[in-house]
Structure 1
């Protein structure tokens, strides 16, 4: 197994673990296929509880208190007065940040990690001649172009190597 494959497996584990941690109402990550609980988030107006309709102007600030809510019910028992869908309350947030947070809910991150793991498995198979069995590319510096592209978002990680750039 190449260092690049090991690097990618570690980063994907971190991404999934963080997403599952965010989705777990107990604030402890759980592992397993059902532990993300298909966690999806949406912004709602704090007072009315109505779903917030966000625009596409990322520099605008929301001018009213809003709450990030889970579509799923959290079985909260630790804080009185907190609703069963509560994730976060804010009084000021940039609209672009709000869009980003809701769009990258734990369920989506976990799904993306599973796809990337599948790509990693497909493209880490070599046929003994240094050729990737999935794409037929001659492998250089630990992996084919697909694996090096998968590593690109982690270029700021201290273990990332410049030779892995695609």
Structure 2
């Protein structure tokens, strides 16, 4: 916030943090927590994308590769289901199944689950989650709230750029959702079993 903006806000009765003043210790710590969370999420999404491409029958066309349950076969051990991979409707390889006894998925539901989570879908989900990370990134924004004396106060605070729009006004300072939003924390919950996951990221 430059001096002219500070002067304008002061003229309207707002209490502002002086220009150039660093965020308080608690605010800086919250920023660091969110930065670590975003770094953690980007690393996990990179891993998901890498593994999806590695699992593809044709890694060069992983984003277009569709898996489907192609049928079942029975032998003395029971009935098993096969999954095949194809690009642009053309089957290229049998992924699950085969000629040996007991080959294939043990249940149709297992085969459907494998086919549903093909590389194309995983890569599409990774792309969507990366976009959510960008959408809910932290920004330093002037936030307004009502103070205990009935006036208005404002401060430049690191907040979610999507969940806290410009010109937001809150009932009091404690109501300002400083730091990362619930969306970021929820995106991390599938990775809660990862050794780098931190309990203070939980929603």
Aligned pair 1:87/2:120, yes or no? no
| Aligned ranges 1:1-166 → 2 under 5 Å | 2-25=35-58, 35-45=61-71, 63-72=78-87, 84-89=92-97, 90-128=103-141, 129-136=157-164, 138-140=177-179, 143-166=180-203
Gaps of 5+ in 1: 48-61, 76-82
After superposition, what is the alpha-carbon deviation per residue over 1:116-144, rounded to whole angstroms, capped at 9, x for unaligned? 0000011113125121111117234xx21
Would you say how many aligned residue pairs link Structure 1 and Structure 2? Answer: 136
TM-score by length of 1: 0.71
Bigger proportion of residues as helix: 2
After superposition, what is the alpha-carbon deviation per residue over 1:77-122, rounded to whole angstroms, capped at 9, x for unaligned? xxxxxx8332221345123221211111111110000000000011
Q: Secondary structure at the match of 2:159?
A: coil
RMSD, aligned CA: 2.7
Bigger proportion of residues as strand: 2
Q: Secondary structure at the match of 1:2?
A: helix
Alpha-carbon distance between aligned partners in 2 of 1:91 and 1:72, rounded to the nearest angstrom: 21
Bigger-Rg structure (1/2) = 2
Alpha-carbon distance between aligned partners in 2 of 1:92 and 1:22, rounded to the nearest angstrom: 17
Call closer, same or farther: CA 1:36–1:139 in 2, change over 3 Å: farther
Call closer, same or farther: CA 1:94–1:84 in 2, change over 3 Å: same
